[in-house]
Amino acid sequence: MSDVLVVAEHRRGELRDVSYELLTAGRELADSTGGNLHATIISGDVDEYGEDLNREGVDAVHTVDHGEEFNHGVCTQAVEQIANEIDAQYVLAGNTVNGMDFYPAVAERLDMPLVTDAIAFETGDGLSVIRELYSGKTEGTIDVDSETAFVSVRPGEWPAAEGTGDAAVEAFDADIDEEALNTTVNGYEEVGSGDVDISEADVLVSIGRGIEEEDNLPLVHDLADALGATVSASRPIVDNGWLGQERQVGQSGKKVTPDIYIAIGISGAVQHVAGMKGADTIITINNDPSAPIYDIADYGIVGDLFDVVPALTEEFGG
Amino acid sequence: MKILVTVTEVADADDEFEISGTSIADQYLTYDLNEWDDYAIEEAVQISEEHDDIEVVTITFGAERVEETIRTALAKGADRAIRVWDDSFEGQTVLDPSQKARLLAGVVEEEDPDLVLSGVQSGDVSIGATGVALAEQVGYEWAAVVNQLDLDRDSGNAAIHRELEGGVEELTDVELPAVLTIQTGINEPRYASLRGIRQAQSKPLDVMSPEDIGVELEESAIELTELVEPESESNTELFEGSAEDTAGQLAEFLRERGVGA
Ligand SMILES: Cc1cc2nc3c(=O)[nH]c(=O)nc-3n(C[C@H](O)[C@H](O)[C@H](O)COP(=O)(O)OP(=O)(O)OC[C@H]3O[C@@H](n4cnc5c(N)ncnc54)[C@H](O)[C@@H]3O)c2cc1C
Which domains, from first to last, does chain B contain? 2-208 (3.40.50.620)
DSSP code of residue B11: E
| Confidence (pLDDT) at B260 | 85
Residues A135 and A213 in one domain: no
Residues of chain A where predicted confidence (pLDDT) is lower than 50: none
- Choose one of A180, A211, A243: the last residue of a domain: A180
Chain A residues with CB inside 8 Å of B17's CB?
137, 290
- A165 plus A209 within the same structural domain: no
Q: Could you tell me if residue A305 is inside a domain?
A: yes
Mean pLDDT of chain B: 95
| Residue A127 and residue A259 share a domain | no
Q: Cβ contacts (< 8 Å) between A141 and chain B: which residues?
A: 224-227
As for ligand 1, residues whose beta carbon falls within 6 Å of it are A 97, 208-210, 234-236, 248-253, 265-267, 269, 271-272, 275, 285-288, 291, 304-306; B 120-121, 145
Q: What CATH number has the domain bearing residue A24? A: 3.40.50.620
Distances from the Cα of A38 to the Cαs of A96, A135, A155, A307, in angstroms? 20, 33, 19, 55
CA B15–ligand 1 middle distance (angstroms): 15
In the DSSP assignment, the letter for residue A213 is S
pLDDT digits (tens, 9 = 90+) for B132-142: 999 999 999 99
Mean pLDDT to the nearest integer, B50-54: 94
Q: Check whether residue A154 and residue A19 sit in a common domain.
A: yes
CA atoms of A198 and A204, how far apart (whole Å):
8
Structural domain span for residue A110: 4-180
Residues A222-234: b if buried by 16+ CB within 10 A, e if exposed = bbbbbbebbbbbb
Tell me the C-alpha distance between A262 and A163, whole Å: 38
- Judge if A211 and A77 occupy the same domain: no
Residue B100 CA to residue A114 CA, distance in Å, equals 12
What does the pLDDT read at residue B225? 95
Question: What own/partner pairs with CB < 8 Å and gap ≥ 24 does A267-272 have?
Answer: A267/A135, A267/A136, A267/A208, A267/A209, A267/A291, A267/A292, A267/A293, A268/A136, A268/A292, A268/A293, A268/A294, A268/A295, A268/A296, A268/A297, A269/A135, A269/A136, A269/A234, A270/A132, A270/A136, A270/A154, A271/A235, A272/A208, A272/A234, A272/A235
pLDDT of residue B217: 86
Q: Which of A180, A214, A229 is the last residue of a domain?
A: A180
Are A91 and A143 found together in one domain? yes
In a domain, A11, yes or no: yes
Counting the structural domains of chain A, the total is 2
Encode pLDDT of A250-309 as tens digits.
999 999 999 999 999 999 999 999 999 999 999 999 999 989 999 999 999 999 999 999
Let me know: does A198 contact A246? Beta carbons within 8 Å.
yes
Closest CB from B123, B136, B220 relative to A105 = B136
Using alpha carbons only, give the angle A144, A272, B128 rounded to the nearest 5 degrees: 35
Report helix angle B97-111 to B130-138, nearest 10: 50
Tell me the ipTM for this assembly: 0.95
Q: List CB contacts (< 8 A) between A295 and chain B.
A: 232-234
pLDDT value at residue B230 = 86
> Is A193 within the bounds of a domain?
no
Q: What pTM, to 2 d.p., does this model score?
A: 0.96
Q: Side chain identity at A101, as an amino acid letter?
A: D
